[in-house]
Structure 1
Amino acid sequence: MKKKYIYINGRFMTQTITGVQRYAIEVIRSLDWLLSKGDINGKQYKFIILAPQNTKYNLNLNNISVQVVGRLNSHLWEQIELPFFSSNGLLVNLCNTAPMFSGYQILTIHDASVSANKNNYSFLFKFWYQFLYRILPFRTKKIVTDSNFSKDELIKYYPIKEEKIKTIYLGTEHLKPVKSNNEILQKFNLGNTTYILAVSNMNPNKNFSGIITALNYIKNQDLQVVIVGPKDNPIYSEVDLNSSLRINLVGYVSDEELSTLYKNAACFVYPSFYEGFGLPPLEAMVNGCPVIVSNKASLPEVLGDAAIYCDPYEPKDIAEKIEQVLNDENLRNELKIKGLERVNIYSWERCALEIFKVMMEVMDS
């Protein structure tokens, strides 16, 4: 039996880990585990990650090799060199982009926010991605996305036929085995502080400004907002967060530090206007943190009855839901229990296996 080569686009390995890179890492680790268990036949399928120079981290894989190829980087590497090095196999792209000149490939597009919320992005960023998403549907065999909401949005904005796109939910196991690191509580003076937690990048779509405005309606003047994530990103429009002693921007943190912040937060607040899936609320649930989220986009689909929902366009409603959770211990305990039950629906191993089935469907067609 002739071995089939499956190449994975490793450009994400040169980038800081946010949600998209986390997805790629966990899918690849789960594929590696499936190979170890024999659920994927390693004698029949050869997996290779192709990466540009200057990778930032080691995935510690047992069955999937990493090959650093080419001399270019970023989009030029992806568009010019990657198609050449992957020409004798199926190319798997997990992070929203793919080469336009490689027709034998699959692609994960996580959401359609670059068109649905285009004002939140720089001109060059949205121009490039909107251009790609009008070309790539014709240059890919299959497209994977994170939710039925995203599937409908991608079909709405781009020339994608419904039969070509498949919804595969993400997983949550990546934070389960992580030990806490309480040093971060002392580092940011949070040891005896009641705080609500927000986690994401500074995209205006995440609606951090809604949380800040909601503070004006909350009676507890000692309550702090801790925001985790990159403090600035050139692809996003400027976010106006008024300086305040009640706002604690901690920047990028380790998984251990993040787990600690989840476990010690009074609640996690995520009033996003637009989400393709919404991984941070599930990460909060893994750590037993009560969750308040927007009632928009994919969030009700993903979180079900395990969260409290707010209107992201009404800061007063956000404040009311925060006070509701803070003042009701029974509600907090109920949300913790429901959250821990909800996260069991989502599995990176199941996600990786479903993606592998898409690969086989393409290779066998």
Structure 2
Amino acid sequence: MARKAPLFINGKFISAGPTAVHRVALELVKALAPLISDRELCLLVPPGLAQLAHGPGIQTHPVGGLKGNAWEQISLPWHARGGVLLNLCNRSPLVLRNGLTLLHDAQAFTAPRSYAFAGRLAGQWQARAAGRRQLGLLTVSDFAKSELVGLGLAPAERVHVIPNGADHVLRAPPQTELLARLGLAPRGYALALANLMPHKNIPLLIRAFARPALAGMTLVLVGGTGRAAFAAAGVTAGANVVFPGYVNDGEMRALQENALAVCTPSLTEGFGLPPVEGLMLGTPAVIAPCGALPEVCGPGALQADPHDPSAWEAALLRLRDESGLRARLARDGRAFVARFTWHAAGRRLLEVVDTVAPG
């Protein structure tokens, strides 16, 4: 059987920071490699990145003499001629036709206050170009698909859902030393990501933990946004809010496994990896009934009004005090999210590629 056209991947994400979007891209690349036998798989990267992100079956090729956005817009499409180019981090060459772009959400359109003006316009422009010119769009949930279709970026038959995996959290052994260092008791704290983007709605959690009934419980906010940044934004975190900063995978697993709950009060999410990761490890979620969160958390979550701190207080107190509730949510949630594996995501991605670009 003749080999199909090569599958190229936009490797610009390798030079970026450790965000969820970039984690998804790397995991998809690693999942694709062992599944492909009838076409070449090649990660195209800017100059100087040849030694990064290698894996079995992955060829990494530095191409072109440009860097940054100029590399993505000029060098990348030139070197991806004759194949199919996958763009896994929302952005892609404006002139591209022989490719697919993964839009993780529609937030450049639906949550404009979360993005700087120039970045928002660039995201909207690139999303429209991808939907109009390319072989199709990829996204991560039925909710995200409905938004992309509703915005007119592409018709429903050209938007393909590839749910994220979450089983990467099972790889790194838990490093529980962090809990002792932070003075955290198992089930004595709730976990969330530290973020000041308005749609993430984290100040709501801080207000909930200022309520007297939660004075004995800790809120752990992980990530690069610290207490001072929240204070500068007018959000004062109490003494029961802890900011450990960035943590490695083993430390994050320890925090997720031992938390009372993973909290996600977002006003919109295209997927929502943190609560699904927690459920994969047997920790229930408390979520806002918004975006894709109910879709991806299923029976493993309590839902709380994203505008009412008392609703989050009540949900966390139920998890702490109501006999059997946490165990039931953990059991049902873990069974529900078992479908979210990177192997399944890779297989689905390859099915889409073979459908839209079979030759």
Question: What TM-score does the superposition give when structure 1 sets the normalisation length?
Answer: 0.91
Aligned equivalent of 2:30:
29
Matches within 5 A, 1:41-56: 41=37, 44-53=38-47, 55=49
Deviation at 1:53, TM superposition (A): 3.6
Matched, 1:204 2:198: yes
CA distance in 2, matches of 1:186, 1:68: 44
Contact 1:203 1:239 in 2 (8 A): no
Pairing partner for 2:121 from 116, 127, 131: 127
Is 2:220 aligned against 1:219? no
| TM-score, structure 2 as length reference | 0.93
Aligned counterpart in structure 1 of residue 140 of structure 2, from 135, 142, 146 = 146
Aligned-pair distance for 1:194? Answer: 2.1
Native 8 Å contact 1:6 1:92 kept in 2:
yes
**Aligned residue number for residue 16 of structure 1:** 17
CA RMSD across the alignment: 2.0
Would you say 1:113 and 2:107 are equivalent positions?
yes
Q: Could you tell me which residue of structure 2 aligns to residue 271 of structure 1?
A: 265
* Residue 259, structure 1, aligned to residue 260, structure 2: no
d(CA) in 1 for partners of 2:152 and 2:45?
Answer: 28
Does residue 295 of structure 1 match 2:289? yes
Which consecutive residues of structure 1, in runs of 5 or more, have no partner in the other structure?
A: 35-39, 233-237
- Select which of 343, 348, 353 maps to 1:354: 348
How far did residue 204 of structure 1 move? 2.1
Pairwise CA distance, 1:88? 2.2
Q: Give the structure 1 partner of residue 5 of structure 2.
A: 4
Q: 2:328 aligns with which of 329, 334, 344?
A: 334
Report the AA paired with residue 207 of structure 1: N
Q: Which amino acid aligns with 1:6?
A: L
Asked whether the equivalents of residues 206 and 237 of structure 2 are also in contact (C-alpha less than 8 Å), the reply is no
Q: Structure 1's 159 and 267: CA in aligned 2 closer, same or farther, altered over 3 A?
A: closer
AA aligned to 1:360 is D
Report the secondary structure of 1:7's partner residue.
strand
Where does residue 88 of structure 2 map in the other structure?
A: 94
- Aligned with 1:24: secondary structure? helix
Displacement after TM superposition at 1:216 (Å): 2.8
Structure 2: gaps spanning 5 or more residues: 227-231
- C-alpha deviation, 1:218, in angstroms: 4.5
- AA in 2 matched with 1:155: V
Letter paired with 2:144 = S
Deviates more, 1:103-112 or 1:221-230: 221-230
Shift of 1:3: 4.8
What is the one-letter code of the residue matched to 2:33?
A: D
Deviations 1:196-238 (A, max 9, x none): 1103644221111010111133514121110112327xxxxx8
Q: Does the CA-based 8 Å contact 2:50-2:61 persist in structure 1? A: no
Where in structure 1 do 4 or more consecutive aligned residues deviate above 4 Å? 54-57
* Separation of aligned partners in 1, 2:51 and 2:242: 28
Q: CA deviation at 1:14?
A: 0.6
